[in-house]
Amino acid sequence: MTLGKSLTQKHLSLALMASIVAACGSETPAFQEKAMSALMEQQQNAESFSTDSVDHESADNSADATAATSESLDDNDDFNTIENLSIPGADEGSDFAVDVQETQLRFGSQTTSISTSLGGEKTNDVIYTVVAPAGKDPGKIVNGNTYVSPTTGTEAYEVKIIAVSKADPTQASSTTLKLEPAAQVFVGCTNDMKGFPIKAEVYAIPDDTNRLPDFTSFAKQTVTACMDAFQIPNRAWSDGFPGQPKLIEWFALRATSHLNVTKSGKHYFKLNADDGAKLYIDGQLVVDNDGQHAQQAVTGSITLSAGDHEIVMEYFQGPRYHIALELFWKVPGTSTYTYVPASAFKP
């Protein structure tokens, strides 16, 4: 459901109840009546939220999933974060807890699994609902425990996934998930870094730089950003970084992650960059594509065992306005270069 800026807890309780009924059409009338009774009892003593009213509408009437939607009564009260939204029955310190495998996803129908525990033990006896800011697509939940991000989106925002116990509807919990535009290369880092496992320390560099800098000489990074893959084809660049939107030229970054290799053997890498870049794996320089230049690709190879390997990507951008940073590989048993997929990187 989407929320305006002064939704009461009574409204949210009724919306959650409607979501439960929509998601569990096959449940018995007794369960629906129990859920209604429990939620109505909660709202009698509830405090007001700091939001407007909501017009509930189920986005999915299947027994497996529901993503409820609504319209704000005030079109000027749109907001992109729902951190302060409290949930009926979601007491701090409760042993009923919901979690998502990824806390950041891109738009474009990306998925993450949802799990709920009661007293430390996983339980499937729950109903999930998704809450989004006013006017935003909340995405949806399918197959009972999989969240699917909206197909399109141009502005980052958060959704809240709410779990309500079927056995005891007074038990509820929630977790927040951030959605990022597909075209946004660098995002803010979260604590778990599951969805964007490449961490990049970014530094402002002198305007006359024509080679990669000595990163050990920097006292402090200008900004830290995260990535899900090295898949930046040659493109105009005016986006900047989270917290540093004007940093579009004369910067260098040192990105670190772990590369998961599934088959032992000789691996070939191709690094396309504008300007210079170097690839290191387990401390060994694999590809050297340094220097100030238009996009160009350089190849290299290394023998790797199956498992996780430390990877470091160094890159710098000279004068504006174009950048490129792409990493391809040929794994044992293949003959063509393909992007190193986001799924191959781990924090």
In order of their start, the domains of the chain are 2-180 (no CATH), 198-346 (2.60.120.1560)
Q: Is the pLDDT of residue 66 over 80?
A: no
Name the strand (E) or helix (H) holding 339: strand 338-339
Instruction: Tell me the per-residue pLDDT of 68-113, one tens digit each, with 9 for 90 and over.
Output: 333 332 333 343 555 555 554 444 556 899 999 888 898 999 899 9
Q: What are residue 153's phi and psi, to 5 degrees?
A: 175, 140
- 5-to-51, 54, 147 alpha-carbon distances in Å: 3, 9, 25
| CB-based burial, 285-315: b 16+ in 10 Å, e otherwise | ebbebbeeeebeebebebebeeeebebbbbb
pLDDT for res 192: 82
Mean pLDDT of the chain: 80
Q: How far apart are CA 144 and CA 142, in angstroms?
A: 5
Give pTM, 2 decimals. Answer: 0.65
Distance in angstroms (rounded) separating the CA atoms of residues 241 and 238: 9
Tell me the percentage of the chain whose pLDDT exceeds 70. Answer: 73
pLDDT of residue 29: 54
Quick one: pLDDT at residue 24?
Answer: 52
What does the alpha-carbon distance between residue 115 and residue 90 come to, in Å, rounded to a whole number?
A: 16
Q: pLDDT for 298-331, tens place per residue?
A: 999 999 999 999 999 999 999 988 999 999 999 9
Predicted local distance difference test score (pLDDT) of residue 12: 52
- Report how far residue 73's alpha carbon sits from residue 186's, in angstroms, rounded to the nearest whole number: 34
pLDDT of 13 higher than 90: no
Examine the pLDDT at 345 and tell me if it is beyond 50.
yes
Q: What is the pLDDT of residue 28?
A: 52
- What does the pLDDT look like over 106-161, one tens digit per residue? 899 989 999 999 988 999 999 999 999 999 999 999 999 999 999 999 888 999 99
Please, which pLDDT band fits residue 47 given cuts at 50, 70 and 90? very low
Judging by beta carbons within 10 Å of its beta carbon (0-12, 13-18, 19+), is residue 99 exposed, middle or buried? middle
- State whether the Cα torsion 37-159-64-101 is positive or negative: negative
Q: Is the pLDDT of residue 195 over 60?
A: yes
pLDDT value at position 119?
A: 86
pLDDT grade for 341, boundaries at 50, 70 and 90: very high
Is the predicted pLDDT of residue 277 greater than 60, yes or no?
yes
Q: Reply yes or no on whether the pLDDT at 213 is more than 90.
A: yes
Position 53 scores a pLDDT of 34
